[in-house]
Amino acid sequence: MRVGVIGLGIMGAPMARNLLRAGHGVVVYGRRRARVEPLVAAGATAADSAAAVARAVDVVITMLPDAPEVEEVVTGRDGLLAGAGPGLLVIDMSTIAPAAARALAARAAAAGVAFLDAPVSGGEQGAIAGTLSIMVGGERAAFDRAQPVFAALGRQVTYMGGPGQGQTTKLVNQVIGATTLAAVAEGVVLAARAGLDPAAVVQAVGSGAASSWMLTEQAPRMQRRDFAPGFMVRLQQKDLRLALAAAAALGVPLPTTALVHQLFAAVEAQGGGALGTQALVTALEALAGPPRAAG
């Protein structure tokens, strides 16, 4: 298929590479030449606007920070709908509010364009390996059309229902993931203050009921002070704000999520918004204060 990719950051660039490896023709658009040029060298074609991407492909993927950026790319003056021909399929793989996804789906449908909200889980590693979990909302026929694209990007692809339901599922994912990460960070701080061997703790705990991806992947990063971003704190905060707003609209209390949101706010207050989410451990270390003297 001819596939466009707009949003060439930590997630979008490796996704474009995986589409190329799968044999798709890939057209990319980005405002930073430094992100576009390596993909062109790998075999992609560069376009000078979102509208130009739409005119050149069958399917367009957007992977952008938040709803305003997605709305501009889709509905703006030089956006996808401005260049769309009959049968174009737009797949937004960003994480945005479910209501925003539904509104975009309606705008696209009015222009004769199919639209899927298909946010992902798995972070940078999953994007590189092509093992993302993809949760999809939209018309079933559009979902079926998108299968060759999803096959190049993810291991688990799940149809969740109509427009916005993919985004709602992603918010559930973020609630579970962020609160689990906080529990792992608490355990890491406790283990360190108790003088336990870091690797042995992960091995012991990871073999029992407390095992999780967050433990096996993020605890070692916390322990070796590796805060490079696979997923940034500021983006996690955006997702948690969306989750808390959606829950409030449904009358669902999320007290643990609210606490984790505040802990991440403490990391942001110390200038850590661009760090990886594993930097959450620094907020808990600050709360613990300096280690107590022995005896």
| Residues tagged active-site | 170
The residue with tokens 């997605």 is 70
Non-local (6+) Cβ contacts of 265 within 8 A are: 237
CA dist 77 to 51, 52, 64, 83, 114, Å? 9, 12, 18, 10, 19
Task: Tell me the Ramachandran region of residue 211: left when phi exceeds 0, alpha when psi lies from -120 to 50, beta otherwise.
Answer: beta
Instruction: Please compute Rg for the chain using Cα positions.
Output: 20
Residues 39/15, Cβ–Cβ less than 8 Å: no
Answer for the pair 70, 100: CB distance below 8 angstroms, yes or no: yes
221: number of Cβ within 10 Å? 18
Strand, helix or coil for residue 154: strand
